[in-house]
Every structure is written in C-alpha cells, then in structure tokens.
Amino acid sequence: MKTYLLPSLKLTAVLIILCSVLYPLLIAGIAKTAPGQGKGVTLSLNGKVVGYENIGQKFTKDEYFWSRPSAVDYNAAGSGGSNKGPYAPDFLASVKARIDTFLVHNPGVTKEQIPVDLVTASGSGLDPDISIEGARIQVQRIARKRNKNEKDLFDLIDKTKEKPLLGFLGPEKVNVLKLNIALEGLPK
C-alpha cells in the first residue's frame, strides 16, 4: 500500500482542481447565459421582486390562493418535510386540523371536495405548486373576498396552469405565486 500513497496523494490534489474548481467554475460561467443567470429565476410584482419562481412561499390570507401546508413554514433556508409516517397519530391530527381550518375559511366546500395536496405537507416544505383542483376549490372564497366573478377566476387558473411536459408526461399543476401575481393583475 505504501508504494501507492504518494501517487494517490498527487492524484487527489489534481482531481480536486479538476472536479471541484474547474468543473463548477465552467458551469457557473455558462450559467450566466441561463435564465436568472444561474441564481434562480425571480418574479416581480409592480417592479418589486416578490419571490422566486420555483420557491413556494406562504399564502395564508383569504384573498390569495393558498399554498400547500409546509412542515418548515416555507423557510427557504432550511427545507424539509414532516417525515411523519402515514398513520402517525400526530400527523393525522394535523391533517384533521388543516381540513377543519380549510372548511372554516371556505364555507360551502365539503370535506370530500378538498384535494389531498392542500392538507398534506410537501417534501421540501417549499412546494411552489398546487393541483388544479386545489386552485379551483379556493375560487369561491377568493371571489367572495375580492368581489370577483368566479368565472374570471376559473379562466385565470386555466390561463396560468402548466400543462404536462410535452402535453403528455407528468401531472398538471399551477404555480401559486404566478397565480397570485396574476390575481393581483386582474382589473379591479
């Protein structure tokens, strides 16, 4: 083994330069030409950056489309999920609480209508999306709160929703931040 230690040491040094210095620098360089210059794509409202396209943020006020529950309270500096087992009593209790909260804020919605993503926490705690169902179920509440026509809101969801990849791969979804920005943009 001794005969191999010296070449191993040199090789380690060379490879650190190759893999840990040159490789990321090259990517960072090319990333300057990418959307967001490799720093993440931000979204603005009225000229002010209000968030990152991909990072979900907390929406709990009734006039906004709500995001999914988050185990880390949308702390984008400490992502994570609840890591609760599917039958853990405390987990089921918190789901129950979320259902109750939702029903209180959305009168007229039955508990059977609530899509499951609105009462479960995402894996990252930063899920930027909700299901189409998850958006539509909130329309009644927002329309009432904002004095809007429900149909306009449904149209807004249809316009903002993202189709599956290439139209046939993966789920349909809607980005909550984009939806809310669009919501703000609706004529008063």
Tokens of 155: 């149209």
Tokens of 71: 């185990």
Measured CA distances, 72 to 17, 80, 96, 176 (Å)? 36, 6, 18, 18
Nearer to another protein among residue 110 and residue 147 (C-beta): 110
The 3-state DSSP class for residue 42 equals: strand
Query: CA-based angle 122:126:129, to the nearest 5?
Result: 75
CB of 149 to another protein, least distance (A): 22
Nearer to another protein among residue 18 and residue 151 (C-beta): 18
Nearer to another protein among residue 151 and residue 161 (C-beta): 161
CB of 152 to another protein, least distance (A): 20
> Would you say 179 and 156 are in contact if contact means Cβ atoms under 8 Å apart?
yes
Amino acid at residue number 99: I
Nearer to another protein among residue 10 and residue 151 (C-beta): 10
